[in-house]
Structure 1
Amino acid sequence: MLSFEEKVKAQELPREKVFRDPVHDYVHIRDRIIIDLIDTREFQRLRRIKQLGTSSFTFHGAEHTRFNHSLGVYEITRRIISQFQRNYQSISANDGLWDQNERLVALCAALLHDVGHGPFSHTFEGIFNTNHERITGQIITSPETEINLVLRRLGDDFPDRVASVIDKTYPNKQVVELISSQIDADRMDYLLRDAFYAGVSYGTFDLTRILRVIRPFNNKIVFDFSGMHAVEDYIVSRYQMYMQVYFHPVSRGMEQILKHLLARAKWCYMQDDVHMKTPIGLLEPFLFEKWTLEDYLRLDDSVVNSYFVHWSQEEDRVLADLAYRFLNRKPHKSIIVNEKEVTQLSIALSEELYNFNYDPEYYFSENSSYDLPYDHYHPDRLSKNTQIDLITKTNQTVELSKVSALVNSLTGKSRGDHRLYFPKELLTELNRIPANQLNENQKMILVAYVNERNDVTHQIQQRLF
């Protein structure tokens, strides 16, 4: 019976294969297991799942998929491991350096880390109570999947090893941090890839330099002190991508319509007295939360979008209208609010929407989008971030924000905003009312909407003049 090392050696390809990639130029593969995992039905399904969901309504080039991203995460992980093998390979037990026997489990985890994502992932999860992280583990460990069959070639325990890397329970923390930390292969790829396809420069950083200064040390991942500015650049790029792309108000407005559309569809199909022309088909198991892994794997963006087309022709006015808005990019408008304003303005918007025949349950929503650009380790918190450590020439480690004034200014501080979303038509209706006939709610809404935009203009004027 072959040992694990012998199985790894036996599956190496006689000649390296490559995928052409617009971000990394080439994705290099020299292991048969990686090629076979890519060819599985579960992984090929990622070609039909958009990476950025509703962001493509704002950045029309952002049509790339989870498939693209997963290959990119694999490639960055492969490059890091190759650098570790050349310069920091473990010589003796417990020396804190890279154990090359971990190479294949790290590469498989990198490739498969997003395999459980579904259509419009986070919005779908909120309505139908699914969880892509848990499903990723199920896809990897279930004996019914092609992915599991491929992984078990390296041993019956190998799927569990790969899954434990993704859920952060794997004993070798270096392997976990390659895939999941505050500066990992996953984040590095999605920043570069999302920026490329969105057509923006915010997410770009010096990947070549990062890969040069990353290293294993004392059973964790650190960065040479000389590479501090490249790491700073990465932190700032990530911050800018969240503020300018991921939290874009139009994308969030479309996401709110999608959320309400799915919720209304669920409500309609659960009513005995509402006649629906379109059979629920592949979504039915999710209405009753009795779905199987196979049911989940049948879904992708195109399947769910096909239902939206049918729903736009349904007799239920709310469902048809929301489907029309989503399919034809009719985003909701929004107002930024603070804690003092949110309750009163929410009530005003809900009442006015009701007065103009819009059900607030489906045409009004709140959305908070906040991100923590960087934080250091807090042993007293339940959520323990893996901080970024720099290592000096004398092998002393120091946490990044202690030596970087730039990163320190972003550390521990959530950035983002809280918005109230509502149909654009409400503003149109309110603007038609003579000023002397506006009620208090209507005045409050119009003032809040105008003040937000005037405040932005004022900030720009202050900067320019």
Structure 2
Amino acid sequence: MILELGDNKFPRAMGLCRDVHDQAFTLSQSATGHVFQERTHTKCMHDNVHRSIYVDALSLRFVDTEQFQRLRDVRQLGLCHMVYPGAVHTRFEHSLGTYYLADQAISRIKNFQGDELGIERSDVKVVKLAGLLHDIGHGPFSHVFDNEFLPKILPGEKWSHEQMSVDMIDYIVDLHHIDLDSSDVRRIQEMILASSVPVSCQSSREKRFLYDIVANGRNGIDVDKFDYIERDTRACGIGNGFNYARLMENMRVMDDEICYRAKEAKNVYNLFVTRADLHRTVYTHPKVKAMELMVADAFLLADNYMGISKQIRSPEEFWKLDDTILKAIETADQHELQAAQQLVLRLRRRQLYQFCNEYSVPRDMLDHFKNVTPKDIVCSQTRSGVELKEEDICVVNQKIDLTRGQEDPVQSVSFFQDYESHEKFKIPKDRISHLLPAFFLDRIVRVYSKKPELVEVVSEAFENFQVKTYGVKTQVHGTPNGKKKKRTPSF
């Protein structure tokens, strides 16, 4: 019997005797997933994506806190379940999934290259905890909170869920007296912030490759994406051409960087393309965005009374925020919340902000593009007899890319030929396939009317703006000529 692991082949007797074949046995246990780990102080959680996830004792100290359990009430995809009914999974599941994949990634590297790279138990510990805690700072309905609500209520405020995750870790460690070295806490926090810190600022870090596992600022390939792409495509019932397990099986650290076998180059492209497809078809679906805008406006109307925006100042207050705040607004008896409640009622009855039209910014205009505002649309109105107001219009300036703007993200990824080679290299796109994307960025401008009776007027003003800006009306994707069509239920 021959046991094959990667390119290594080990003769194997039946019964898997642990004698002269210890190396092959160790590698096989890594491949089958922690079969012989100590289970005395671990808990097994059953996940619909990764099956059995074993959580160690230290990680359980974080999981079994009210701050982490709060993630059960924060939906991973915000309001996408209103269009894709299966998308009801939460940040809790995603955090456990990222923890599992972070464990798989660092364990595989340690088993194959642990001595060479000097990987210690503390390295494994901090990588796993970074995966577990990377999203603990997300607000109600995930990105609706930080992308739609906060910029409106606190313009110019530099708040991010990553930084709140960092602050929340300090708060949990102190509040629950978790025995964790301050140096380990700092490393966990740096790993969570890695994707937002310039690569040049991280180059001096020891074992730099560890910081690329959970939130990769070097090229965007990380276990966070592995989990949410797999989880979100399953929940929404859409295709996924990316195979994260195969990519993890073909990785190797070279010159302090995680590299991938050259034959996986197309799979790497599939990662970025699938992510972009999710953004286009799920995360920014026209009706999903309409509902996100409505929820953000409901939060705005309720903020003076409920003080939602004030709770972002400290972890002690922030952890009390989750998706249930919408129900709290909806069912409150206070007169001060009446306007917000009317908006939530419209949402429940599917009386949404009306999508008028959208267009993709021409490629030659991308470098000089400026965000379109409701004022731009109002100033382009030519029809008499109807007065448009900025507060009647919502404009969404959407960027969909492959994580690197107009640049090819795969050109930031290093590859190796096989496990006998000692050099890493980049692979030009034309050496992979001629069917790959020719361009890597879309900017889509989308306009909504808050009042159904203004749809035609807003659509006409929007088309006038396009002519004024680009000289011609660009290709649009909404109702022809902006005429309102008969409304039918849409799910």
* TM-score bucket of the superposed structures, by smaller chain: 0.7 to 0.9
Structure 2 counterpart of 1:199: 237
SS of 2:352's equivalent?
A: coil
Is 1:112 matched up with 2:144?
A: no
Closer, same or farther in 2 for the Cα pair 1:314/1:143, shift >3 Å? closer
SS of 1:421's equivalent?
A: strand
Is 1:369 matched up with 2:398?
A: yes
Q: Which runs of 5+ in 1 are unaligned?
A: 1-10, 270-279, 379-383, 432-438, 457-465
Structure 1 counterpart of 2:432: 404
Q: Alignment length, in residue pairs?
A: 405
Q: Show CA shifts across 1:131-186 (max 9, x none).
A: 32221111112377546x32xx1323322221121122664321111011211000
Tell me which of 231, 235, 245 is aligned to 2:268.
231
Letter in 1 for 2:83: T
Structure 2 counterpart of 1:158: 184
Is 1:38 matched up with 2:63?
A: yes
Structure 2 counterpart of 1:346: 377
Structure 1 counterpart of 2:77: 52
Structure 2 counterpart of 1:460: none
Closer, same or farther in 2 for the Cα pair 1:194/1:441, shift >3 Å? closer
Give, in whole Å, the separation in 1 of the partners of 2:395 and 2:456: 21
The question of whether the paired residues in 2 share the 8 Å contact of 1:19 and 1:27 is answered with yes
The question of whether the paired residues in 1 share the 8 Å contact of 2:247 and 2:267 is answered with yes
Worse-superposed segment, 228-237 or 318-327: 318-327
**Alpha carbon RMSD of aligned pairs, Å?**
3.9
Tell me which of 198, 216, 231 is aligned to 2:253.
216
Q: Which residues of 2 match residues 104-183 of structure 1 at below 5 A? A: 104-120=125-141, 121-122=145-146, 123-126=148-151, 127-128=153-154, 129=157, 130-142=159-171, 145-146=174-175, 149-150=177-178, 153-168=179-194, 171-181=206-216, 182-183=220-221
The question of whether the paired residues in 2 share the 8 Å contact of 1:222 and 1:391 is answered with yes
The question of whether the paired residues in 1 share the 8 Å contact of 2:381 and 2:464 is answered with no
Tell me which of 312, 325, 332 is aligned to 1:303.
325
Letter in 1 for 2:323: D
The alignment-based identity, stated in percent, is: 22
The question of whether the paired residues in 1 share the 8 Å contact of 2:358 and 2:478 is answered with no
Letter in 2 for 1:423: K
Structure 1 counterpart of 2:452: 425
Give, in whole Å, the separation in 1 of the partners of 2:327 and 2:383: 31
- Give how far 1:265 is off: 3.0
- Give how far 1:262 is off: 2.2
Structure 2 counterpart of 1:14: 40
Structure (1/2) with the larger helix percentage: 1
Letter in 2 for 1:131: S
- Give how far 1:37 is off: 1.4
Worse-superposed segment, 115-124 or 51-60: 115-124
SS of 1:216's equivalent?
A: strand
Letter in 2 for 1:298: K
Letter in 2 for 1:265: A
Closer, same or farther in 2 for the Cα pair 1:442/1:223, shift >3 Å? closer
The question of whether the paired residues in 1 share the 8 Å contact of 2:59 and 2:129 is answered with yes
Q: Show CA shifts across 1:96-152 (max 9, x none).
A: 5755541001000010000111113323433355432221111112377546x32xx
- Give how far 1:13 is off: 4.8
Structure 1 counterpart of 2:366: none
SS of 1:365's equivalent?
A: strand
The question of whether the paired residues in 1 share the 8 Å contact of 2:357 and 2:478 is answered with no
Closer, same or farther in 2 for the Cα pair 1:386/1:45, shift >3 Å? farther
Is 1:250 matched up with 2:250?
A: no
Q: Which runs of 5+ in 2 are unaligned?
A: 1-36, 195-201, 363-370, 468-472, 482-491
